[in-house]
A and B are shown apart, each in its own frame.
Chain A
Amino acid sequence: MQITFPHMGNVHIAIKSLLEKLKLDVVTPPPITQKTLTMGIKYAPEFACLPLKINIGNFIEGLENGADTIIMAGGWGPCRFGYYAQVERDILQALGYRFKMIILEAPDSNISELFNQVKDLGENVTFWEVLKAVKFVWHQINAIDQMEKAYEYHLAYTSDKESADKILSTGLAALDNCFHKKDVDRVCSDTVTSLENLPRHNKPVLKVGLVGEVYTILEPACNFNIIRFLGHMNVEVTRSIYLPDWVNDHLFKGMLKKSNRKEVYKQAAPYLNYWVGGHGRETVGCTVGFARRDFDGVIQIGPLTCMPEIVAQSVLQRVSEEERIPCMTLYFDEHSGAAGVYTRLEAFIDMLERKAAAGLNIISGRIN
């Protein structure tokens, strides 16, 4: 059994090591390129959201590299993602691919359902081995997260942006080849240390919150690498969703660590008082949180026609007025012109810079 899976940022490192620990042969799909996107767009429904189109591209490339099994997540709505796997299977079968599709449905009630699904997946593995695999992968996920966080922070403050990019990509590549906890820890601390040792500039740094739909935030190919672009403009980006939180909240129902979701929901009121599927409520709650922590601005990103994000977007204007924080919304779809997106981002950042400078003047004016 040659198994392949969809990309989502750096998650492929974790999925690959999980499947390998379950004694399966893994075909990691090639990194997302324009070719991936083109194939996805060609075969996916026109009005489906971007993640589905990229998934299709990943699967086709995975199957052509020799995979015969696809692993995919499911869900029970109201967000479209829950029905992705069904539509994707139909599309690929109609294209003539022969494969087996394994759909991991999120557990309805108890955690053992998920463990059993994972166990059934593996070939001749004991429950103990599954538990060990999950533990190792959780460790790896946290390492990825620490490295990404360090990168996002230091990228804004360093004058040597290219080295920062290189350190992260070398670090992630090294992490991909780790099989022991000790190696993971070493790679992680090495990467963080080299990022810390980069030369610094002393220009002002803006703090911007990045909120929105999880796939768009985690997958650089889906958002024109917005975090790197902002970092190169001396903007420190803080996200509303990090990988461990997402895995913990959505796959393990908050069993792995304490979740801060309740806090976020509290902040979303009175702007959004009900869950709306996807990450709509998190988007609003985190925007309020960023505003109260004196961030300079918030950027909301999501795939075009994403229903929960549209709900969030339509209340964000009120949040922006009442919490006094500039907000911008960017949707991504099939368009491939990065310049348009970058121009809008530059204009937004220029505005924030001017606002920050004006604020400083007022304070110094009072003191003098």
Chain B
Amino acid sequence: MKRVGIPRGLFFYYYYPLWKSFFVNLGAQVITSAPTNCLTVQQGIDSMVDESCFPIKVYFGHIKELCREPIDYLFVPRIVSVERRSYICPKFMGIPDMVRARIKDLPPLIDTIIDYSRDNKMMDNEILKAGKLFTSKISRIRDAYQAAYKELQFCKALAGQGYTMAEAINLWEGIPQPRFNCDTHLTVGLLGHGYSLYDQNISMNIIDRLRSMGCKVVLPEELDKQAIESRAALLPKRIFWTLGRKMVGSALYMAQSQDIDGIIYVACFGCGPDSMVGEIIERKIAGKPYMLITVDEHTGEAGLVTRLEAFCDMLKRRRIRNGADHFSPHG
């Protein structure tokens, strides 16, 4: 049985069920790296250039970890675009080349090019190319992909019920997840790239921290996709980053929603799209409390906790005042 390693980083949190099922359906065994920990971070920082963003460094740490496992292939896709005329980030487009240049003794890479920016034709060929490493039957590859796609839809449906993508993936794998049922008195919209939000190390566990402070956390995955797109379309120019457009659309949606008390945006230090998207959001959602948190390699959690506490305190006071005399705190 052939073994495929999938690093637990970047688009793992959006597409793992699809990737895993695809390889398992073709008779392979899938191995993932452990959740991000100090060692992952250290190895990642050592092997990537300083100027890159933190999630990319963490991804390199996961690859380093998998290189020590007995695997036949390492799945490092080149994710160019997941929808028409939109991109993710230039760094995602160069990932396999960066990995080859910076990590020695790599197992053979499966560097599938995921590019839906023009049409689906190229993608079909790429799926077949990856599948042919395991079987020569084209129909079997197509079936494997179809079945895997259903698994992904199932997992996304779970995420729509208030679970984070990380929790949904755990549930999908059969690991029970505790339901957060504490009595919430605040609702906070939390935005950010999935690979930084759902990685507990990168985001310093921000989701659970907010929950334990009595906040109900609303994530972009829970919102209606159509509603997000229609809000994002209000901008004079279409945003050509898939995640950036999702963030702006979600922020505009949350800004209009009466239920949401405030919005927190988790950005990565040095992230190109975030530097623009964060600015656009800040200018477009006037009136809704908004906080931008930039995460990096730093490990001082106290700073984050203090800022979250201050933000929540502010929201609480605002709610009490609003409830008492209906004064707008900004008018």
Contacts and interface: CB of A to CB of B under 8 A. Distances in A.
A45 interface: yes
B90 A278 contact: yes
B88 interface: yes
Contacts of A317: 101-102
B160 interface: no
Interface string B231-271: 00001110111000000000000000000000000010111
Given A45-B276, A47-B270, A272-B97, A311 B239 contact: no
Contacts of B270: 47, 304-305
A272 B49 CA distance: 16
A150 interface: no
A301 to B, nearest CB: 13
Contact of B52 (A78, A276, A314): A314
Interface stretch (B143-151, B207-215, B221-229, B277-285): B277-285
Contacts of B78: 274
Interface string A278-311: 1010000000000000000000000011111011
Given A311-B98, A314-B101, A90 B280 contact: yes
B108 to A, nearest CB: 15
A179 interface: no
Contact of B241 (A74, A77, A90, A308): A77
Contacts of B94: 272, 274, 276, 280, 311, 314-315
Question: Which of the listed residues B85, B89, B269, B294 has the most CB atoms from chain A within 10 Å of its own CB?
Answer: B89
Given A305-B51, A314-B49, A315-B94, A86 B237 contact: yes
Given A47-B275, A48-B275, A82-B240, A274 B91 contact: no
B97 A305 contact: no
A336 interface: no
A310 B80 CA distance: 16
A276 B90 contact: yes
Nearest to A93: B283
B273 A311 contact: no
A310 B49 contact: yes
A318 interface: yes
A279 to B, nearest CB: 11
Contacts of B190: none
Nearest to A80: B272
A76 B78 CA distance: 19
B54 interface: no
A273 B95 CA distance: 10
A77 B78 CA distance: 17
B274 interface: yes
Question: Which of the listed residues A49, A94, A272, A274 has the most CB atoms from chain B within 10 Å of its own CB?
Answer: A274
A78 B90 contact: yes
Contacts of B97: 271-274, 311, 315
Interface in A74-131: 74, 76-80, 82-83, 86-87, 90-91, 94
Contacts, number: 123
B240 A78 contact: yes
B304 interface: no
A220 interface: no
A278 B97 CA distance: 16
A275 B269 CA distance: 24
B93 A311 contact: yes
A118 to B, nearest CB: 20
A82 B97 CA distance: 25
Interface in B298-316: none
B141 interface: no
Contacts of B158: none
Contacts of A307: 89-91, 272
B275 A276 contact: no
Contacts of B272: 49, 79-80, 305-307
B48 interface: yes
Contact of B275 (A90, A305, A310, A313): A305
Contact of B93 (A78, A90, A271): A78
B290 interface: no
B113 interface: yes
A74 B89 CA distance: 18
Contacts of B283: 90, 94
Contacts of A80: 272-273, 275-276
B87 interface: yes
Contact of A318 (B86, B87, B101): B101
Nearest to B94: A311
A310 B52 contact: yes
A277 B102 contact: no
Contacts of A280: 90, 94
Question: Which of the listed residues B87, B97, B113, B283 has the most CB atoms from chain A within 10 Å of its own CB?
Answer: B97
A273 B241 CA distance: 22
Contacts of B90: 78-79, 276-278, 280, 307-308, 310-311
Given A78-B87, A79-B90, A307-B272, 4 more contacts: A46-B275, A48-B279, A78-B240, A305-B272
The 4 A-B pairs with the shortest beta carbon distances in the complex, nearest first, are A78-B87, A311-B94, A77-B240, A47-B275
